[in-house]
């Protein structure tokens, strides 16, 4: 799996988990201390966030520190990200309708 695919899958994981928690992009960004655009770019697979932003996202989602980097690294060595996405989708109820505002 290449870096672009890993970014796309991790962005999807972040978005799905955020929605399951009941947060819009704007609400989550405010709670986590991020710019909404930064979160949007990451969720859409446009840009890897820096270490501080990754930490804030992980904390806001209740993920273990370093999870995003670990998912990315696994994506470079095998099917880890695809498997993580499939597992997450199979054990968690479907997300509510999106309340995200797209530019």
For residue 73, give the DSSP letter: H
Tokens matching residue 93: 């109820």
Q: Output the tens digit of pLDDT for each of the chain's 103 residues.
A: 567 888 888 898 899 999 999 999 999 999 999 999 999 999 999 999 999 999 999 999 988 888 888 777 766 555 666 666 665 555 444 545 555 555 4
- What is d(CA 103, CA 16) in angstroms, rounded to the nearest whole number? 19
Tell me if the pTM is above 0.85.
no
The first and second tokens of residue 49, run together, are 């966030």
3-class DSSP state for residue 45?
Answer: coil
Rg of the chain (C-alpha set): 13
CATH numbers and ranges of domains, the chain: 3-91 (1.10.260.40)
Cα–Cα distance, 81 to 68 (Å, whole number)? 10
């Amino acid at each position: 799996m290449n870096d672009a695919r890993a970014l796309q899958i991790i962005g999807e994981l972040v978005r799905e988990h955020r929605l399951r928690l009941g947060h819009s992009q704007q609400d989550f960004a405010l709670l986590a201390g991020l710019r909404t655009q930064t979160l949007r770019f990451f969720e859409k697979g446009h840009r890897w966030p820096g270490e501080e932003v990754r930490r804030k996202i992980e904390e806001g989602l209740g993920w273990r520190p370093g999870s995003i980097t670990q998912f990315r690294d696994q994506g470079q060595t095998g099917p880890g990200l695809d498997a993580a996405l499939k597992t997450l989708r199979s054990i968690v109820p479907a997300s509510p309708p999106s309340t995200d505002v797209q530019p």
